[in-house]
C-alpha cells in the first residue's frame, strides 16, 4: 500500500504543476482498495500543495528576466500588478485547485511575490477542501 500512497503523492504533485496530469484516478482507486481516507487526504493535499509551490518558485524565477528585450512588462507595471494582486488576488489562491486556472494562479502568485506565509496556507486549504469533497463524494 505504501507504493500506492507514493503514486498518489507523485500524481497529485504533477497535477498541480503546469504539466497535464490528474490525481483523482489514483485517489479513487486507493480509496476503493481500502486505503485510509484521512491518509489519502493528507498525501494528496501535500503532493498537490508542493506541486503548486514549484509553480510559485518558477513564477518568482521569471522576474530574473525583467531586463531582457523580449520581457513584455516594465518594472512599474509589475509593481502596480503586485499591489493589485496583494489587495485582491491573494484570496484567489483558495481556488488553486481549479482545473487550468489554478496552475496559472500559483505561477502568477510567484511572479507577484506573494509571501509564502500567505501562499502556502491558502493553497493548502483550497486543495485540501477539494480532496476532502472528492473523498466524501466517493465514499
pLDDT tens for each residue of 113-122: 899 999 999 9
Residue whose cell numbers read 504539466 = 19
Q: How far apart are CA 25 and CA 33, in angstroms?
A: 12
Largest Cα separation within the chain, whole Å, is 55
CA distance 26 to 109: 28
Q: What is the pLDDT of residues 34-87, one digit of tens each?
A: 999 999 999 999 999 999 999 999 999 988 888 888 877 788 877 777 777 777
Residue 39: all three cell numbers together: 491518509
Runs of H (alpha helix) within 20-138 = 24-32, 37-62, 75-84, 101-111, 116-138
Q: Where are the domains of the chain?
A: 2-138
CB-based contacts of 94, cutoff 8 Å, min separation 6: 122, 123, 125, 126
pLDDT of residue 74: 80
- Give me the percent of the chain exceeding a pLDDT of 90: 65
Amino acid at each position: 500500500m505504501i507504493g500506492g500512497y507514493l503514486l498518489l503523492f507523485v500524481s497529485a504533485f504533477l497535477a498541480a504543476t503546469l504539466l497535464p496530469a490528474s490525481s483523482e484516478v489514483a485517489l479513487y482507486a486507493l480509496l476503493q482498495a481500502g486505503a485510509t481516507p484521512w491518509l489519502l487526504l493528507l498525501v494528496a493535499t501535500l503532493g498537490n500543495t508542493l506541486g503548486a509551490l514549484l509553480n510559485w518558485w518558477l513564477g518568482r524565477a521569471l522576474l530574473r528576466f525583467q531586463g531582457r528585450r523580449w520581457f513584455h512588462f516594465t518594472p512599474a507595471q509589475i509593481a502596480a500588478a503586485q499591489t493589485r494582486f496583494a489587495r485582491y488576488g491573494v484570496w484567489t489562491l483558495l481556488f488553486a485547485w481549479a482545473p487550468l486556472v489554478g496552475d496559472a494562479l500559483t505561477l502568477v502568485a510567484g511572479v507577484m511575490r506573494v509571501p509564502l506565509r500567505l501562499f502556502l496556507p491558502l493553497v493548502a486549504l483550497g486543495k485540501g477542501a477539494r480532496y476532502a469533497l472528492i473523498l466524501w463524494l466517493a465514499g
